[in-house]
Amino acid sequence: MRYRHRRTVAAAALAAVAVLGLPGCSAVMGEEASLVDADSLTVGVKYDQPGLGLEGEDGEFSGFDVDVALYIARRLGVAAEDVEFVGLVSSEREEKLISGEVDMVLATYSITPARKTQVTFGGPYYVAKQDLLVRADATDIESVRDLEGRSVCQGEGSNSARRITEGLGIDVRQMDAPSYSACIDRLREGDVDAVSTDNLILAGFLAEDPEAFRFVNNPFTDEKYGVGLPYGDVRACEAVNKAVSEMYQDGTAEELLDTWFGETDLEVTTSVPQFEGCS
């Protein structure tokens, strides 16, 4: 039996947890309910990140994450017309997935140990690298070390600034904004010195306004973009990993990366990422 309604899978798992008193829903999701049985999917994506997830005036979504989601859905047996996209920001990803408002999340969603306690991740479907975007006239910023004592903007729910302060020991002034598009606005207006996040995100914004900004192109971390799935849905995770492998092997991944980022100076990776595992 296929699940036609987007909340069926998550609701079934949550109900079982409530009855059995389990700390998670892996026992249920692994055997009784899975997104691989779905007839339709609701997918959470970013709505304000050009090149990755951007909502147009007509309400349609476009970008690399959107195209990857459609590819995965097709491999799961769900037609494009049965995929509904929901726009979200970084801080909403776990909430919307756990509540069942979305079935799957592809929204520059870095796989971290903390997130893996609430979400099962397929993939990664791409390994991005954290980098910097600065104003075009900021010629004195050539690496993350040059940010000492300066202001860095990150979107709420992101770990980008903490990776600089705690991970690298560089003293920066962290400025939070509701989204990365808001960070870009602050950078343009001179309110912050840099925006730091994954290079795919930065490349998308740079492509929209190449005269205003400069891509430092000196990466300092790996960011594994995962497909967020209901916690414990191992069957879906395995199916997603198979789909991602096929996407790279048949040349689709390289084609999509060229479509969305080919006109920037970003060096993309076109080999199959090393998967995290589904257990």
Cis peptide bond N-terminal to 178, omega within 30: no
Rounded to 10°, the helix 252-261/234-249 angle is 80
pLDDT at 31: 55
pLDDT of residue 55: 96
Q: Which residues contact 266 (CB under 8 A, 6 or more apart)?
A: 199, 200, 203, 215, 217
Lowest mean pLDDT among 24-33, 169-178, 248-257: 24-33
Structure-block tokens of residue 86: 């929901």
Q: How far apart are CA 229 and CA 218, in angstroms?
A: 32
Sketch the domain layout of the chain as residue ranges: 8-127+224-261, 129-222
Q: How confident is the model at residue 267 (pLDDT cuts 50, 70, 90)?
A: confident
Distance CA 98, CA 88 (A): 14
Global pTM value: 0.81
- HEC assignment per residue over 166-190: HHHCCCCEEEEECCHHHHHHHHHHC
CATH tag, 129-222: 3.40.190.10
Tokens 């598009």 locate to 181
The mean per-residue pLDDT over the stretch 9-16 comes to 44
User: Is pLDDT at 14 greater than 60 in this prediction?
Assistant: no
Q: How many residues does the chain have?
A: 279
The pLDDT of residue 28 is above 60: no
The predicted pLDDT at position 12 comes to: 45
CB-based contact 192:151 (threshold 8 Å): yes
Alpha-carbon gap, residue 194 to 87, rounded angstroms? 25
Q: Residue 156: pLDDT above 90?
A: no
**pLDDT attached to residue 10:** 46
Residue whose entry in the numeric block shows the structure tokens 């916690």: 231
139 to 17, 120, 134, 136, 150: CA distances (angstroms): 55, 42, 9, 7, 14
pLDDT at position 32 is 60
CA distances from 43 to 61, 68, 227 (A): 11, 11, 10
Asked if 8-127+224-261 and 129-222 have one fold, the answer is: yes
Domain 8-127+224-261 annotated CATH 3.40.50.720: no
pLDDT tens-digit map of 56-103 = 999 999 999 999 999 999 999 999 999 999 999 888 999 999 999 999
193 touches 134 (CB < 8 A) = yes
Per-residue pLDDT at 83 = 98
What's the token pair of residue 170?
């560089």
What's the whole-number mean pLDDT along residues 148-156?
A: 92
